[in-house]
Structure 1
């Protein structure tokens, strides 16, 4: 009987170990799944809700004053304020909106505008984002009123 008890104990230890390994595996899998669902795109999507990383997972910061100065038609301080609030100058910044659209780049150009200003593609580089921003600015009556942050910058 003593030998049988020892065999049962060994069997119990192996079963317990297998259950623990399975539990740890499932816990790690759950953590990975939550990381995929809450996608920050390497920090480019600070809202944590982007469904895909349209501009990748590495940041690309530009000089806000330098890029605003590439267009002389708008008020430079308003432009700098808008860019600071929208993306902090990250050309790869992304925001996924509740209506399913995405805002991309330095000026956070909304996906509804991409067909008119960037051949339907996300304007992830600063040059194409600037070209889109100029168009959107013009559509807004040569103002930043179409940006959600315009009131914070006295630019509506």
Structure 2
């Protein structure tokens, strides 16, 4: 009986440890494309473009990267999302010469293009629903 209890406790501890080490965007999601962390003021970054809702932009950036302009996430389909707005690697050729847009300025330019490709909405970001911004500017 004690062996069963110890085994169960060990399993729970292992599961908890694995859960704590699962990568998330704000902790660079298991990739080092942009290297490390560089937290920025989200409101200031969003205000660089007046063509979108500032509240939606801030919510999207908060949910995508927690303000880490070097956030990086490897996706299950093999693509990579980087930067404050987590621009996907499938878009880098069209917005940053094929290079990962790791700095705020290049990530912003890519985010603006993706926003425009979505008919000036946030619908191309998976976090738009949680922000209530899928059909919003």
TM-score tier, shorter chain, comes to 0.7 to 0.9
- In structure 2, the residue matched to 1:102 is 80
Are 2:124 and 1:124 aligned?
no
**Which whole-Å CA distance do the structure 2 matches of 1:152 and 1:55 have between them?**
26
Following TM superposition, where does structure 1 have runs of at least 4 consecutive aligned residues deviating by more than 2 angstroms? none
Q: Give the CA deviation at 1:89.
A: 1.1
Larger Rg: 1 or 2? Answer: 1
- Does the aligned pair in 2 maintain the 1:60–1:91 contact within 8 Å? yes
- In structure 2, the residue matched to 1:88 is 66
For structure 1, the residue ranges without an aligned partner over 5 or more in a row are 1-37
Instruction: Tell me which of the two structures has the higher relative contact order, counting C-alpha pairs closer than 8 angstroms and 6 or more residues apart.
Output: 2
Residue 91 of structure 1 aligns to a residue whose secondary structure is coil
TM-score by length of 1: 0.68
What do you get for the CA RMSD once the two structures are aligned? 1.6
**Which whole-Å CA distance do the structure 2 matches of 1:39 and 1:120 have between them?**
28
Residue 115 of structure 2 aligns to a residue whose secondary structure is helix
- In structure 1, the residue matched to 2:18 is none
Are 2:42 and 1:64 aligned?
yes
- In structure 1, the residue matched to 2:52 is 74
Number of equivalences? 112
Residue 78 of structure 2 aligns to a residue whose secondary structure is coil
Match for residue 136 of structure 1 among 114, 119, 126: 114
Deviations 1:123-144 (A, max 9, x none): 0000000000000000001000
**Which whole-Å CA distance do the structure 1 matches of 2:98 and 2:27 have between them?**
20
TM-score by length of 2: 0.77
- Does the aligned pair in 2 maintain the 1:97–1:103 contact within 8 Å? yes
